[in-house]
Amino acid sequence: MNYAIEKNEQYALITLNESVFGGEVPTTFETLSRNLFREGYSNIIVDFNATDEVDAGGVSVIRKINRHCISEEGLFVLVTKNEEVIDFLDESKLTDLTILPTVEEAVDAIFMNELENDFRSEDDDAYEGFEGGSSNSNDY
């Protein structure tokens, strides 16, 4: 698999230089992604602009990696402007898959997801203070 990887504190960016996401490429990609998960990355951006075709094995790997990112409160983003690839992935019923046209927009989506997770955890903390507390209005 021909690719470049850039690791940032919040995400890993994989630039895939393959015209077809099929054959042995998805298997190698899955191994790479699992290594990123072990390193603590739950946000993965894949620059798919060089890719013109995805096969069934590729769809299966995308589905697995996307599910894993979501389960870790992260985000898996495919970056492509190729309408045929986008249509194929849409038809493959990949739920909750984020596809954006530029890496910059993907990075923004990662930061927005991180903010939403932070707000959610703050809301959870705020509600914990109200749970189980008793208000004794008869104490006066």
Per residue in 97-122, pLDDT (tens digit) is: 999 999 999 999 999 999 998 888 77
* Tokens at 137, concatenated: 């209005």
Per the structure, the count of domains in the chain is 1
Let me know if residue 132 belongs to a domain. no
CA 54 to each of CA 10, 50, 72, 82: distance values in angstroms, whole numbers, following the listed order = 27, 12, 25, 11
Q: Residue 43's domain spans which residues?
A: 3-126
User: pTM for this one?
Assistant: 0.84
Residue 44: enclosing H or E segment and its boundaries? strand 44-47
Q: Two tokens at 123?
A: 């809301």
**Domain for residue 15, yes or no?**
yes
Q: Among positive and negative, which fits the CA dihedral 111, 115, 121, 125?
A: positive
* Bigger pLDDT: 135 vs 8: 8
The CATH number linked to 83 is 3.30.750.24
